[in-house]
A and B are shown apart, each in its own frame.
Chain A
Amino acid sequence: MTSLAKVAIGSSAKVTLVNGTDPTAARLLEMGLTPGVNVKVVGTAPLGDPLELEVRGYRLSIRRTEAARVAISR
């Protein structure tokens, strides 16, 4: 099992799990990163962090530390 932080730019993955029960985990889920959803990593900021994602038809930006909590399957 790998995390969203390891997905190559331009590739898509399917979310399987968001780790934790803290407010950050809740926010990621509310923003639509729910188990089962397809996410595309569109790009990163010039310094490599944060990531730009496409999920549920909109663009979302999260840091790699948060992306590392999102488990995915390809």
Chain B
Amino acid sequence: MAPAAGSSGALTVALLGNPNTGKSSLFSALAGIPTRVGNYPGVTVEEKVGRFAYRGRSIDLIDLPGTYSLAPKSPDEVVAVKVLHGQMPGVAAPDCVVVVADATNLERNLYLASQVLELGLPTVVALTLGDVATEKGIRINVAELAKRLGCPVVRVVAPCREGIEALSEQILAAPGTSPPPPVGLEAQRAKVDSSHTLQAQEAIARYAWIEQVLAGVVHTSPTLTRSLNQQIDAVVTHRVWGTLVFAATMLGMFSSIFWLATPFMDLISAAVDRLADLARAWLPPGALASLLIDGVLAGVGGVVVFVPQIALLFFFIAILEGCGYLSRAAFLMDRLLVGVGLSGKSFIPLLSSFACAIPGIMAARTIENRRDRLLTIMLAPLMSCSARLPVYLLLCGAFVPNVPVGFSWLRLPALVLAAMYAVGVVVAAVVAWVLTRTLFRGPAQPFVMELPGWRWPRMEVVLERVREAAGSFLQNAGTLIIGVSVVVWALSSYPHNELSIDAEVEAQRAGMAAAVAALDAGGTPAAAKEREPLVEQLSALDTEEGMAAARRGAAQRQSFLGRAGRLIEPLVRPLGWDWRIGCAAIASFPAREVVLGTLGVIYNLGDVDAGAEEGSSALVRRLRAATWDGTNRKVFTLPVALSLMVFFALCAQCASTLVVIGRETGSWIWPLVSFTSMTLLAWLGAFATYQIGTALGW
């Protein structure tokens, strides 16, 4: 851990301000890249500290969460108040407070400033967005404002570093000073009608004081930018146009994380494969090579592959946030999500989860309300992510009859595919409904949200957001994910006994030969049809490749993971599965995208590339031919395929997601809750699907 702020004689400066005031931009301009980003102990409030030097003096800049008030109502405000009072463990009491105030919205921004001034701490007010204010025709007499507030006021335009030097000077000069209590605030308090509640009296007095301070200091004249701002707003929040703009924006954002990220992800996979090939060529075959290639390298690849989606999503979110659209998106979508106990702010995280739950869960950082954020994180993995799509496509293509439904263009497989996406959404809605009435019960969460003015996003803030999201994922979640993947490798590789693998392969060969002989004796045309795949499998055993595949399959079946598959057979029988499907399902708990590969290995196909036409059709043929052990009853029927798909739609088969949930919630309880509840839901869903499907005679 980095040394606590304030050590080694550095000045500790707290940066405090309302949300959407250009505070992040000012932080970057002052301190550059933060030296420490993490959570305050025991709460999921982000701690961001940066260090810079000015005139030979080190300054630790603490970026406090954006708050509207110092009356502690939310965890953010509690943290801000604690830090200001020097009561936060590990954080030195600030020597100076920089209050960030948006020059375009001074009246409301000074509410927080007036509270800070009353604390009597050395205070400097930084007037941000001065350029935007000028464009909007807002002129501020900075010298007069400083006189009336009783503390230095510096106008800054962070992106072009205007005023940064002057602000640094004031920060150096501030420690030891103490601003006088706001002149006239007590008088305003005395004037307030005492029939109002205490809270109302306080707010009335403060705003009356602010009006008094700003009278004659702020001059506003109408400008083109101002009217343009209102016109943009009129379109973007319009019933029809606003909805269209919103749909287009979301479609663009979603398809980019879905499609634009793909080439980068392919590139990463290809690089990892290339490295694996190199390692295979260099290392002697054996346990070490297997550990490095199938354990560590596969783990690293599995982590890095998420970075393009995370980076792209945060790039878009930061741009939308920077220009003020993120709040409008929440405003437009709020009504839709109120019904399930959420707010409009959950829309983008949940939508992103259709591409991948990991960036989606990380995007939930934009939700200030803890309860809503936690609920969103719990629901995100239920959205059908892109890793589920290959499973749906393969099973729909192979086992759902390709017949039209009502219209000639609407085919049953497409309908089933759509239904799989719907299953996740409907279950999520039900889960949200239940959770808000049980675990997350409490007073209705208010929705009081500022719609910030339109402005151009600051590129350095956008890039910092992307860097931070990708960096924190790689640093915090990445290492854990690699660890998990090594453990899974061990479980699927051991115990490894050559003799018993040989024995199993030979037993299989004998079994198949006997079955072929029995069918030959029958001599019916149906028997001939069943004979074909068996003969194909038998002759495959005579090739080097086929033998290797069979041995890999046997090794996997004999590993701990494979044994677990057999062990849980009684559990998966009611879902219509045989132990091999159970095996594949268990093997795909760490990452669901491996299921097709695992099915290939378990059915002795070796490593099939199920994405490729050839591998997929080979797998489909093998799955179609699969029979229950010792019978000629087919394993894969329509109800089985459907129950398997429903299971995949609802199950938390992604260790990376669980690790990220743990990181983002700062507790191991939530990944555990998510895992158990989703597994239970998946089992129940698959059970109902199979039983209903069988009863209806599908």
> CB within 8 Å of B: which residues of A?
17-18, 21-32, 34-37, 42-43, 45-50, 52, 56-63, 65-66
Contacts and interface: CB of A to CB of B under 8 A. Distances in A.
Contacts of A61: 327, 331, 447-451
17 contacts: A24-B443, A26-B69, A43-B234, A46-B332, A47-B336, A49-B338, A50-B331, A56-B107, A56-B108, A59-B233, A59-B451, A60-B448, A60-B449, A60-B451, A61-B327, A61-B448, A63-B338
Interface stretch (B196-204, B256-264, B266-274, B666-674): B196-204
B448 A27 contact: yes
Given A34-B203, A46-B243, 11 more contacts: A25-B200, A26-B71, A29-B203, A35-B200, A35-B204, A45-B237, A46-B240, A56-B108, A57-B107, A59-B452, A66-B447
Given A22-B443, A26-B71, A49-B338, A58 B450 contact: yes
Interface string B99-120: 0000001011001000000000
A25 B199 contact: yes
Interface string B43-69: 000000000000000000000000011
A46 B239 contact: yes
Interface string B10-47: 00000000000000000000000000000000000000
A9 to B, nearest CB: 11
B196 A35 contact: yes
A56 to B, nearest CB: 5
B284 interface: no
A47 B69 CA distance: 31
Contact of B448 (A31, A36, A46): A31
B529 interface: no
Contacts of A63: 334, 338, 446-447
Contacts of B240: 46
Most buried by A among B105, B200, B239, B332: B200
B184 interface: no
Contact of A31 (B68, B243, B331, B335): B68
A13 B207 CA distance: 18
Q: Which 4 A-B pairs have the closest CB atoms?
A: A29-B203, A47-B335, A59-B451, A24-B446
Contacts of B447: 50, 61-63, 66
Contact of A32 (B108, B335, B443): B108
B205 to A, nearest CB: 9
Nearest to B233: A59
Contact of B444 (A26, A46, A50, A65): A65
A27 B73 CA distance: 9
Interface in B323-361: 327, 331-336, 338, 344
Most buried by B among A21, A30, A42, A47: A30
Contacts of B68: 27, 30-31
Contacts of A17: 196, 200
Contact of B108 (A31, A47, A50, A66): A31
A12 B368 CA distance: 30
A8 B19 CA distance: 29
Contacts of A31: 68, 108, 448, 450
Contacts of A37: 207
A50 to B, nearest CB: 5
Contacts of B196: 17, 35
